[in-house]
Structure formats: C-alpha cells, structure tokens
Amino acid sequence: MTGRLLLAAAVLFLLAFLLTPTSFAWLFQPVTRNNAPAIYTQTPLWSLTLSHLALVAVAVIASTVIALVLAVLVTRPAGREFLPLARTVTSVGQTFPPVAVLALAVPVMGFGAGPTLVALFLYGLLPVFENALAGLTGQPPQVAEAARGMGLTPRQRLTQIDLPLALPVILGGMRLTAVISLGTATIGSTVAAKTLGEVIIAGLLSSNTAFVLQGGMVVGIIAVLLHEGFQALERMAAARTGLNR
Amino acid sequence: MHARLDRPGLLFAAIGLAGLALPLVQFKPNRIVLGEGMTLAAALPLGMPLALLLAAVLVAGCWRSSAAWRLIGAVGALVGLVLALGGSAGHLTPPDNTLARVSPSTGFWLTGLAFALMLADAIGRMRPSLPVRWLLLAVAVGLVAVVLASGILDGVSVMREYAARRDIFLREARAHLFLAFGSLGLALLVGLPLGVALHQARRLRGPVLSVLNILQTIPSLALFGIMIPIFGWIAANVPGAAQAGVAGIGVFPALVALFLYSLLPVVSNTLTGLTGVNPATREAATGLGLTSTQVLTWVLVPLALPVLLAAVRIVLVQNIGLAVIAGLIGGGGFGTFVFQGLNQTAMDLVLLGALPTIALALVAGIALDLLVEATSRRPKGT
C-alpha cells in the first residue's frame, strides 16, 4: 500500500515538475554556481520528455514485434534449425555495449534520432527474444500434451496456449528492454537526438550540476514508473495463466 | 534434393552474397569527406577470383555438411576477407599520400557478419567440450593479434588513426581496463560482505536492495555527471584529497559511478547464491561441528560460486560498455576516441574507440561464461 502511495506521489511530482519546472527552481538553486540558471529552459522539459518517451516507445514496440516473430519462427518445426544459432546470437549480442552500437550507427544513419532508434531497436531485440524463447519452450510437458489431446491445431496451440502462457515472461523482457532503452536514449543526445540527455549534456558542458540532476531525476523517476508498471502487468498476466510459479 | 538444403546456410548465403555485391571499402581523399564505394571485385587486382571463392563457400554452406567443414570454411573466409580489406587499402592508396583513407564499408561488415554467423552456427552444432571452447577462444584472440601485429591492415583507416596516436591509445586502453576492472574490484570488495551481511540480516534486505535498484535506474550519463561536483567538492574541502589525485574531472568520478552500478548485481547475486544452497547441506556442515564462519567460507561460498561468477560477468561486460561514457567527462578510456570522433565526424576515430570496446566486452563475456560453466559442472559431493 505504501508502495502505491509512493508511486502516486512520484507521478504527481513528475507531472508538476514537467508542467511548471520553474516553480521548482528553489530545489536546484543550491547546486548551481555563479548565478547559473537552475532550470533548463532552452527546450521545454515536457517536450524533451515526450520525444524521449516516443523514441523509447517506438524502439520497444518495434523490437518486441520483430523479436516475437523471430522467437515464434525458431520454435516452429520449420525453423528449429535456427534455434541454436539464435541462442548464440542473443547471448553474444547482449555483450555489445549500447554506446558502441549507437556510435557505429552514426556513419550509416547520420546524426539525429535515426542512429539512436536503431541502437535502441537492436539492443532491445535481445531481452524480448531471449524471454520469448524461454516462455515458448519452457512450458510444462503436460500442457503441450493436453493441448494435443484436445485436438488443437499447431496454430491454435500457439495463439491459445503457448503465447498466453509465455506472456508474463515476454512482458518481463519488454520491461528490461524499456528500462535499458530509457537510460541509453539519454546518450542519444550526444548524436543530436532530442531526448532528456540534452539537459544532462548541457549541464556537463556548462558544469551546471542543476541541469545534470534534473535530467537524471526525470529519467530516473520514469524508469522506476515503467519498471513498476510492467511488473504490475506481469503479475496480471501471470495470474491469468493460472499456473503456480 | 530439397531435404539436403541447410536453412541457416541459405540465410548466411543471402546475407553474404548481398555483402559481396555491396562496396567492400570506401575510398576517401581525406578522413572527413564522404568517399567512393568499391566492391571487392573492383578494389583488388585479384578481387574477382577472391569474391568468387567467398561466394563459393557461401553457396557450399547451403548444403548439409559436417560442422567441422563449415567451421574451417567460415574461418578461412573471414581471414580471406580481412586480408582483402588490408590488400585493397594498400592497393588503392597512392604511395606517399598521407591524406587518402580506405575504410571498411557495408559490404565488408555484411560479408563478415555472414561468415561470423556461419562460424557461430558451426561451433553451436559441434557442441564442443569446455576445454575445446577455451582453445577456440584462445585461437580466435591469437589470430586477431597476429593479423593486427603483422601489419597487413596498416593501410586501413582505423589502423592509420591508431598509428597517428599509438601512445594515447595505449594510455586510454589502460584507463579503460582500470575503470572496468577497478570498479569490479571495488564492487566485489564492498558487495560480497554486504551480500553476506544481508543474508544474515533478513530485515535489511528489502530497503538496501531497493536503494541499489534505484541507483541502477539513474541514467549512466547523469550518474557520471553527478559525480563531478561531488568529487570537485571533496577535492576542495577534504584535506589531502587533492594531493591524492582526487578531482572533479578525471578517473575517480567515473570509477565511483561504475562502482555504484556494479553493486546491485554483486549484492543480489551473492544473496541468491547463498539462499540457493540446500538447507540440508548447511545443517550437515553445522552438524560436522563447523563454526558459522567456516560454514560460510568452506561450504556456502564454494557452492554459490557459479552465481557469484555470473554477477562478475554481468558487471564486467556492463562496465566495459559503460566505461565508454567516461570519455565524455574526461575520465579517459576508449570513449575518448568515440566522442572525439563524433565531434569531428571522423568515423574512423569512432571505430578506433568502439571496436576495441566491443572486442573487450565480447572476450570478457565469453571467457566468464566458460568459467561459470566450469564451476557449475564440478562433481557433486566434493
């Protein structure tokens, strides 16, 4: 209960801060020096937040769709041959540093939101794919047996049994992807993407800690909210499966 | 006929043949302007036969064959591709021209990806034993070292950026390793005792873990930024700190930021490892008359070792990647080249920072995976 109250308070604080950032100037004034501005005003914070969230949302949705399709394909009989390869690629791919992926996308895409989107998309594929694979292959054998006994076609088994049962795990992958993307998107501002990283970088360049703090704070609060939101969805999905985990 | 086709092989062939049709290298009059793309067949005198040979390996991979043959084919093709890159750099750059640059282009990366996938697929199918996998890793690292040391690639743009700043590169490499391993060491030094303490003090678990969780949600860029004024303050106000080298800009803020990120994996895996030990084992150990310290060091920690090593893997791979951001706050490391390159739109310089980082993370990740497997496979009862 206290957890929910804290979350609600965080949402209210975030909204209030984004709508009227200047009324929180007193909060950041102590960490500024030489009368530097306490609040970043070059671009409204709410618009940076929206474009940041849009970037993350597009990347997460795109990587979820592609990763799910791939996971379904490699777990069908026709795609089984790709399964070992897919596992290797996901575990190796996750060791690639997101910053390096972002930097390498710049020569291909140019500066702006493009490379950030590509890096977030590629990096986001892996957690969802890995979890979807675990969810689709990790079912209790009795379930598969029962589904076959009921005379379900492979397609029905996929849509009515396998995917719903794997949903909580898939959502877990989406949660990882979303939280990682949210943090990584801030680095996107080094290649001129419009995200909250702009505030942090402005702070770094003008050694104004207030900017660094407010950029980090907004991203941090959103990350916690996303994390909690996905976990609530996971619990709901898990309750619907009726399996005791 | 159809049954003997190898589906992954078809995929690799599609990627690889597309790569061979695309430009292998970019020829640029100087390091900043956009260049002119050249396919493998056009970039080298012997390019056409080599391209046909690589294509033949790809096509041959479409039929089922033993994994060992595929492994040999993929390794051979990768070596051939790298030699072609080095060769075309030497061939295309006019002698005495220090401005012209030959950089790897889409075709090189795509063809390389196709053969790397073929290699990974072959290794996956062979299911090699643990020692063989160590050997493969060592051979791969050795092969890369030999190619780099041989000077075959010296004409390629990235290597020319390296040659222009060899000393700085070595310094930044040391800084990067220091950041990644130093923060790991600090995290183990603090995180292991903290995890053990939390294992005993059940009530503190929730609060401490949620604090560490929230630390992880702070974007890395901001955490690095926040450290600067904190360390600046320490340097200005704590006697002796500035003499000890503490400053707002530099390696310390980066090290501490990475350390804070590393705490959660170490502490939570220590807890998982310790709570995962079978209670019967622990009772048996107590029954043998071991003190609680002995139970911890002789029984619990060895049994929890795979989970602890898994934490080391997470932290090390994560920190090698995140240490790049230190380049943005003057903390050094390969990030220096990445961000310098981005600022100057000199992509070869970006590569000089990004490629070693990726290689380092890759080797660290694979090596620790092998270590985790080695420790978790130990015979039971010893």
Whichever domain contains A94, its CATH number is 1.10.3720.10
In a domain, A170, yes or no: yes
pLDDT (tens digit per residue) in B283-324: 888 888 888 888 888 888 888 888 889 899 989 998 999 999
* Chain B nearest CA to A88, separation (Å): 7
Chain A positions touching B120 (Cβ under 8 A) are 85, 88-89, 92
Nearest chain A alpha carbon to B344? A191
Cβ contact B222–A104 (<8 Å)? no
What would the pLDDT profile of A69-106 be if each residue is shown by its tens digit? Answer: 999 988 888 788 888 888 888 888 888 888 888 888 88
Tokens of A63: 């990587």
Number of domains in chain A: 1
Task: Scan for tokens 């990067």, then name that residue.
Answer: B176
What is the pLDDT at residue B1? 46
Does B217 sit within 8 Å of A186, measured CB to CB?
A: no
Residue-level pLDDT at B75 = 92
- The pLDDT score that the predictor gives to residue B282 is 81
Strands B25-28, B101-104: pairing is antiparallel
Does the residue A2 lie in any domain? no
Which residues in chain B come in under a pLDDT of 50?
Answer: 1, 380-382
Tell me, what's the pLDDT at B266? 92
Return the higher-pLDDT residue of A1 and A82.
Answer: A82
Give one DSSP letter per residue of B113-162, joined into a string.
HHHHHHHHHHHHHH---HHHHHHHHHHHHHHHHHHHHHTTTTTBHHHHHH
- CB pair distance less than 8 Å for A220 and B342: no
CA dihedral over B165, B170, B172, B176, signed as positive or negative: positive
- Average predicted confidence (pLDDT) for chain A: 85
The reported pLDDT for the residue numbered B73 is 92
Which amino acid, B379? P
* Residue A100 forms part of a structural domain: yes
Inside any domain, residue A129? yes
At residue B382, the pLDDT reads 41
Domain that holds residue A126: 51-140+155-241
The whole-number pLDDT of residue A244 equals 54
Question: How distant, in Å, are the alpha carbons of A91, A121, B87, B293 from that of B320?
Answer: 16, 21, 32, 34
pLDDT digits (tens, 9 = 90+) for A158-215: 888 888 888 989 999 999 889 888 988 988 888 888 898 889 888 888 878 888 888 8
B364 interaction partners in chain A (CB closer than 8 Å): 95
Is A149 inside any structural domain?
no
Chain B contacts of A200, Cβ < 8 Å? 219, 221-222, 225
Average pLDDT, chain B: 86
C-alpha triplet A88, B114, B37: angle, nearest 5°: 140
Structure-derived torsion over alpha carbons of residues B202, B204, B206, B207, reported in degrees to the nearest 10:
180
The residue behind tokens 């780099």 is: B148
Inter-chain CB proximity B219 and A220 less than 8 Å: yes
State which residue of chain A sits closest to B35, comparing Cα positions: A107
Please indicate, yes or no, if residue A21 is contained in any of the structural domains: no
- The pLDDT of A209-224, averaged and rounded, is 87
Instruction: With respect to residue A200, please indicate whether it lies within any of the assigned structural domains.
Output: yes
pLDDT of residue B380: 47
- Chain B nearest C-alpha distance from A204 (Å): 6
What's the pTM value of the predicted model, to 2 decimals? Answer: 0.86
Domain boundaries, chain B: 2-152, 166-376
B120 with A89: Cβ contact below 8 A: yes
Which residue shows structure tokens 């073929």? Answer: B118
DSSP string, chain A: -HHHHHHHHHHHHHHHHHHSGGGGHHHHGGG--TT--SS--SS-HHHHHHHHHHHHHHHHHHHHHHHHHHHHHHHSGGGGGGHHHHHHHHHHHTTS-HHHHHHHHHHHH-SSHHHHHHHHHHHHHHHHHHHHHHHHH---HHHHHHHHHTT--HHHIIIIIIHHHHHHHHHHHHHHHHHHHHHHHHHGGGGT--STHHHHHHHHHTT-HHHHHHHHHHHHHHHHHHHHHHHHHHHHHHHHH----
pLDDT score of A1: 65
CB atoms A100 and B324 under 8 Å: yes
pLDDT of residue A25 exceeding 60: yes
pLDDT for A53 beyond 90: yes
Residues of B whose CB is below 8 A from A91: 365, 369
- Amino acid sitting at position B124: G
At residue B154, what are phi and psi to the nearest 5 degrees?
Answer: -60, -25
Interface touch A220/B117, C-beta < 8 Å: no
Nearest to B328 among A94, A204, A207 (CB): A204
Best probe of the A interface among B32, B215, B217, by most A CBs < 10 A, is B217
* Domain B166-376 architecture: Orthogonal Bundle (1.10)
Residues of chain A neighbouring B117 (CB-CB closer than 8 A): 85, 89
Cβ burial A78-107 (10 Å sphere, 16+ → b, else e): ebebbbbbbbbbbebbbbbbbbbbbbbbbb
Are A200 and B222 an interchain contact pair (Cβ–Cβ within 8 Å)?
Answer: yes
pLDDT band for position A140 (cuts 50, 70, 90): confident
